[in-house]
Chain A
Amino acid sequence: MTAAVLEHEVVRTERPTPARIPMSRLISVELRKSFDTRSGFWLMASIGILAVIATVATIVFAPESELDYEAFASAIGFPMAVVLPIIAALLVTSEWSQRSGLTTFTLVPHRGRVITAKLAVSVGIGAVSMLIAAAIGAVGNVVGTAITGTDTVWNVSAAELSYIIIANVLGMLVGFMLGVLMRNSAAAIVGYFVYSFALPPLTFLLAQNQQWFKDLQPWVDFNYAQGNLFNGVMTGTYWAQLAVTTFVWLVVPLVVGLRLVLRSEVK
């Protein structure tokens, strides 16, 4: 080394080692990133917008006799089941599809921590969205029955509401898992539709025609096991079936996806 180099090293004051980036900061940054693009913002806004549209549609189209809270809850539930998993998938895949991962994973060279922060943001968004949707549905129920002059019926119990929230968070986690596994926005979204909307009719058909599958279905069909959450009654057996299918169809592929994320190159 030359004298000049040594001189520079003297000039440069030794700086203290910075503190490790806390998880709370990663979560707040990931939350910000889910809102700070036009597409991200409108995807988030669509939760509220779709809930309002579904509520208005229920007031307009549902027969007066069926205008109760359950009608509002199921009307709002469907768009939620579509939008929330897409939000969760894009939260992960945009780092690859938009290539922003190059910056993200150099600023935080621990991909597991970034993915964990994204998971926390997903679950948070899912839970808050469901509460907002439930509130919009409640307003719809009050306003709707006031318009028709019928009695306001609250026929969704707290337990049933919590089952619906669990079901939607599970759906959101499926989107998240597919995002981690595919690392490509289009593939993850298509994957989700296949998973949740194309498979159920096929398994239904199979169960209709094959007795062995009909007996086995509750233990192997994730969508079928989730269906019980929407029916509002969960026995011990139902919980066990949900746990088994969740493990096979959600946890296992998520673990595989995480391993791929941790090892792969970020291009």
Chain B
Amino acid sequence: MIKVESLSKTYGGFKAVDDVSFTARPGRVTGFLGPNGAGKTTTMRIMVGLTPATSGSATVSGRRFADLPNPGLEVGVLLDASAQHAGRTGREILTVAQRTMGLPGSRVDEILDLVSLTPTESGRRVRNYSLGMRQRLGIAAALLGEPEVLILDEPANGLDPAGIRWMRDLLRGYADRGGTVLLSSHLLHEIEVIADDLVVIGNGRIVAQGTKAELLASAGTLVRTPDVPTLSQALTGAGVAFAPMTDALRVEADPDVVGRVALAAGVALTELRAAEGAGLEEMFLELTADTQREGVAA
């Protein structure tokens, strides 16, 4: 269980994390979602004591991270897979962690097997690793002490589709056995398939949180047409509220109502469906647009 309460972090006048509160529960995968620079990594770094908080608190299994006597046995952390001494072999990095935690040496072989790093690969120096291999090594290091809580920052980065599938199954199994998993991502679809709960953050503030089912609940109708202006006009005329999306409209009415309006206006549709998750996606796109990095095309 991870509990974050009113966490804030200010750099000069810039609020990187602004009054963030949420709980990641045992037995569930909590997705921490937000565009680049939203404050996900800073929040996670504060949780594990690498960055001091300006105010607020974060506890893991009811204790401050610094109060955990042997943190590796209670919390598995992967913040940046590239933050390793490039001159050590993968096996050596795990051995150093295993010795620090006081685990038997055989645990290193078990965990290498679990993340599918071969003896040849684990004998190579990390500077020769691909990003995907570094992620596997980082996940191995996080799982080494069989912790009850996992904190993973963008663990899917650099993994190939098969690797992403593998990690998803691994984390699912982990949560199903009662573990608490918090993982961050800037990709909605990546997190949608694995998370039970979602915490969405933008510009340092939490903009939405709840179970995936709640957040992705049907929110009106998604309608796509080559002739957006005519349909917009018709919908306004029919007194139905709607919001324009990139190349479609999200209408606050059922699909059959929208269909009849479109028929009356003589507008051809390319797509008409209940807008499951469109609300979240739209909100997420807005957040991304605000940071003005990906632009509207994202």
Given contacts A25-B99, A29-B99, A265-B45, contact A9 B178 (CB under 8 A): yes
CB distance from B95 to the nearest CB of A (A): 8
In the assembled complex, which residues on chain A have CB atoms less than 8 Å from the CB atom of B92?
A: 36
Partner of B28, one of A5, A7, A20, A102: A5
In the assembled complex, which residues on chain B have CB atoms less than 8 Å from the CB atom of A105?
A: 49-50
B167 at the interface (CB under 8 A from A): no
CA distance A263 to B26 in the complex (A): 31
Given contacts A39-B87, A109-B66, A265-B52, contact A8 B26 (CB under 8 A): yes
In the assembled complex, which residues on chain A have CB atoms less than 8 Å from the CB atom of B69?
A: 17-21
Closest 7 CB pairs of A and B: A8-B27, A37-B87, A12-B178, A99-B83, A8-B178, A20-B69, A102-B83
* Cβ contacts A3-38/B at 8 Å (1 or 0 each): 011011101100101111100011011001100111
CB distance from A184 to the nearest CB of B (A): 15
* Cβ contacts B178-193/A at 8 Å (1 or 0 each): 1100000000000000
Residue pair B27, A102 in contact (C-beta under 8 Å): no
Chain A residues within 8 Å of B, Cβ to Cβ: 1, 4-5, 7-9, 11-12, 15, 17-21, 25-26, 28-29, 32-33, 36-40, 94, 98-103, 105-110, 263, 265-266
CB distance from A113 to the nearest CB of B (A): 11
CB distance from B279 to the nearest CB of A (A): 23
For chain B, residues 167 to 220, give those with C-beta under 8 angstroms from any C-beta of chain A: 176-179
Chain B residues within 8 Å of A, Cβ to Cβ: 25-28, 45, 48-52, 65-66, 68-74, 77, 79-80, 82-88, 92-93, 95-97, 99-102, 125, 141, 148, 176-179
Residue pair A106, B50 in contact (C-beta under 8 Å): yes
Residue pair A12, B177 in contact (C-beta under 8 Å): yes
In the assembled complex, which residues on chain A have CB atoms less than 8 Å from the CB atom of B99?
A: 25, 28-29, 32
New A-B contacts (10) at CB < 8 Å, excluding given A19-B69, A100-B88, A107-B101: A1-B25, A40-B87, A98-B84, A99-B80, A107-B72, A107-B97, A109-B49, A109-B71, A265-B50, A266-B50
In the assembled complex, which residues on chain B have CB atoms less than 8 Å from the CB atom of A100?
A: 83-85, 88
Given contacts A4-B27, A9-B27, A106-B50, contact A18 B74 (CB under 8 A): yes
Residue of B nearest to A114 (CB): B100
Partner of A103, one of B26, B45, B141, B176: B141
Residue pair B178, A11 in contact (C-beta under 8 Å): yes
CB distance from B53 to the nearest CB of A (A): 11
Residue of A nearest to B101 (CB): A107
Residue pair A99, B84 in contact (C-beta under 8 Å): yes
CA distance A105 to B65 in the complex (A): 11
Residue pair A29, B100 in contact (C-beta under 8 Å): yes
Main secondary structure of the interface of B (DSSP, over half): loop
Residue of B nearest to A40 (CB): B87
Residue pair A19, B26 in contact (C-beta under 8 Å): no
In the assembled complex, which residues on chain A have CB atoms less than 8 Å from the CB atom of B68?
A: 109
Residue pair A37, B88 in contact (C-beta under 8 Å): yes
CB distance from B19 to the nearest CB of A (A): 20
CB distance from B187 to the nearest CB of A (A): 23
Which of A7, A37, A94 neighbours the largest number of chain B CB atoms within 10 Å of its CB? A37
Residue pair B96, A36 in contact (C-beta under 8 Å): yes
CB distance from B99 to the nearest CB of A (A): 5
In the assembled complex, which residues on chain B have CB atoms less than 8 Å from the CB atom of A18?
A: 69-70, 73-74
In the assembled complex, which residues on chain A have CB atoms less than 8 Å from the CB atom of B125?
A: 38
Can you sample 23 A-B contacts with CB below 8 Å? A5-B27, A8-B27, A9-B27, A18-B70, A19-B70, A21-B102, A26-B100, A29-B100, A32-B95, A36-B96, A37-B85, A39-B87, A98-B87, A99-B80, A99-B82, A100-B84, A101-B83, A105-B50, A107-B71, A107-B97, A109-B65, A109-B68, A265-B52
CA distance A73 to B248 in the complex (A): 83
CA distance A17 to B69 in the complex (A): 8
In the assembled complex, which residues on chain B have CB atoms less than 8 Å from the CB atom of A15?
A: 148
CA distance A79 to B2 in the complex (A): 52
CB distance from B88 to the nearest CB of A (A): 6
Which of A9, A17, A102 neighbours the largest number of chain B CB atoms within 10 Å of its CB? A102
CA distance A15 to B27 in the complex (A): 16
In the assembled complex, which residues on chain A have CB atoms less than 8 Å from the CB atom of B176?
A: 8
Residue of A nearest to B97 (CB): A107
Given contacts A5-B27, A21-B100, contact A38 B178 (CB under 8 A): no
